[in-house]
């Protein structure tokens, strides 16, 4: 008599809300996991925290009761990552070795039942020549057994300096500007398996913005030339004074 096969936990949705105020980014993560089996199971939740970020909230909801998770230092997280990769349970975690992490044991997850996790962390984003970069580790979902029902990332940016060009090189986003100092960015998809981290660039400053980013995939032997991204932004305000000019008309 053979034992029934055990299906892995499924992620129903993965929603992310980000607020960035003068380069201080606060990221709130909301995920729901689903047990597709006819019996209860146990799961271990591990989330990689970006370098330099501080966890401000980590709650596992079990029967409407909050359960606090454990925050791991980078060395402890590295050991757990390596153990998991060695057992081939999730090779994606290898990419985040060296970062900190949060961990929680999810038990019990009832048959055909759900468990919800909320996580929040803050980090200071650096600016290089007026260009700010934000990255969210969405890549961990690429080994999900089934596509996620819903994935969304919303980013609200507020700056004391003018926000110039805004661009995501990784995902199609909607961008809405509210004046020169506030921008909202949104990404949303259904029935999708994310395989790339969410990245966002925006430039700040009062003068013209000029940024050139180049990239070549080191793992792709055919990508010899690579590609580049050029971000240009004029001054937010221009003079209404007409410029003197000479006009020459040539008639033949």
Query: Domain containing 196 — which CATH number?
Result: 2.60.40.3680
The residue range of the domain holding 199 is 10-233
Give me the pLDDT at residue 111, please: 93
Specify the number of domains making up the chain.
Answer: 1
Per-residue model confidence as pLDDT tens digits over 115-132: 899 999 999 999 888 889
In the sheet with 148-158, reading across from the earlier edge strand, the strands are 65-68, 54-62, 114-124, 24-34, 10-21, 148-158, 182-192, 174-177
CA dist 202 and 132 (Å) reads 5
The answer to whether residue 2 is domain-embedded is no
The answer to whether residue 228 is domain-embedded is yes
CA dist 205 and 182 (Å) reads 13
Give me the pLDDT at residue 88, please: 47
Per-residue model confidence as pLDDT tens digits over 26-51: 999 999 999 999 998 887 778 888 88
- What is the value of pTM for the model shown? 0.75
Give me the pLDDT at residue 160, please: 92
Per-residue model confidence as pLDDT tens digits over 190-223: 999 998 999 999 999 866 655 565 656 666 777 6
Whether the predicted pLDDT of 97 surpasses 60: no
The answer to whether residue 1 is domain-embedded is no
């Amino acid at each position: 008599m053979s034992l029934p096969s055990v299906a892995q936990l499924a992620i129903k949705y993965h929603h992310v809300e980000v607020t960035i105020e003068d380069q201080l980014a606060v990221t709130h993560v909301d995920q729901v996991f689903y047990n597709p089996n006819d019996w209860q199971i146990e799961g271990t939740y591990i989330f990689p925290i970006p370098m330099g970020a501080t966890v401000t909230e980590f709650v596992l909801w079990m029967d409407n009761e909050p359960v606090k998770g454990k925050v791991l230092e980078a060395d402890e997280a590295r050991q757990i990552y390596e153990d998991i990769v060695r057992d081939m349970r999730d090779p994606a975690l290898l990419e985040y070795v060296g970062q900190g992490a949060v961990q929680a044991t999810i038990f019990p997850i009832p048959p055909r039942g759900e468990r919800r996790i909320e996580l929040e962390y803050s980090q200071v984003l650096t600016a290089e020549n007026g260009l700010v970069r934000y990255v969210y580790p969405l890549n961990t979902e690429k080994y999900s057994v089934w596509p996620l029902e819903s994935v969304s990332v919303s980013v609200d940016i507020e700056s004391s300096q003018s926000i110039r060009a805004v661009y995501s090189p990784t995902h199609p986003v909607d961008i809405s500007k509210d004046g020169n100092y506030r921008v909202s960015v949104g990404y949303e998809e259904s029935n999708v398996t994310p395989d790339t981290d969410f990245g966002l660039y925006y430039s700040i400053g009062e003068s013209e913005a000029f940024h050139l980013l180049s990239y070549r995939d080191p793992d792709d032997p055919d990508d010899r030339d690579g590609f580049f991204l050029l971000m240009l932004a004029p001054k937010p305000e221009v003079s209404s004074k007409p410029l003197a000019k000479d006009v020459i008309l040539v008639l033949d």
